[in-house]
Amino acid sequence: MKYLLAATHGDDGLLAYDAVLRFPERFRGDLMSLVVNSYFKGSLMNYGSVFLNRAAGIPLILLCCIYVFWMRFAMPLFFTTVLGSRLSIEERSVVFFISLLAGIEAWNLANYGAHNEMPIPYAGAVAFPFFMGGLYLFSCGRKTGILPLLFGALIHPSMGLYAAVTLGLYFLSSPGPGKLKNLIWPFIVALTAAAPS
């Protein structure tokens, strides 16, 4: 059994599925070639995109860019508009950044539940909004921030440890609550810039 495709970044993406379907001889014996047909048929995002590519000649890379723009930027903006009607501008910004950093574009339903390797969404993507929300609540001086942090730690323990260290550094470096509120935006921007796409 080979792991050519499974060892690459983006092995669960639309372009990888298309490559395996177009050139099955290159990926014969590869782990992904055994399951790619079920993945391909498991989501309209996959099946519809390849259909549009083959029937109308729309480049897959263009469709991928549209999806990433929609899911990475437009959906968080939509969530902020819908959920943030009664929120302040700071709270709307938090809703936007938490949904932005949740990585919605990676939540292709065909990638979850089709086999035993990844039956659920990646735990880090699920837990990250809870960590960001909990840290924000702490930065506002609300002790209830511990609840989303604990819930996130139950989902992804190592990220829970990172959040605990971040919170500990905050409490060690500030004489009183509220200083993280001034640092949360640079922190979020730094995470956004450093996060792999």
Q: Is the pLDDT of residue 190 over 70?
A: no
Query: pLDDT tier at 148 (50, 70, 90 boundaries)?
Result: very high
Q: What is the mean pLDDT of residues 174-181?
A: 57
Q: Please, how many CA atoms are within 13 Å of residue 85, restricted to the half-sphere of its CB?
A: 2
CA-based Rg of the chain, rounded to a whole angstrom? 20
Burial (CB count <10 Å: 0-12, 13-18, 19+), residue 49: buried
Q: Is the pLDDT of residue 103 over 70?
A: no
Q: Is the pLDDT of residue 186 over 70?
A: no
List, as one string, the DSSP characters of 79-125: HHHHHTTTS-HHHHHHHHHHHHHTTGGG--GGGSSSSSS-SS--HHH
Instruction: State if pTM tops 0.85.
Output: no
pLDDT at 163: 86
Q: Which residues is 91 bridged to in the sheet?
A: none
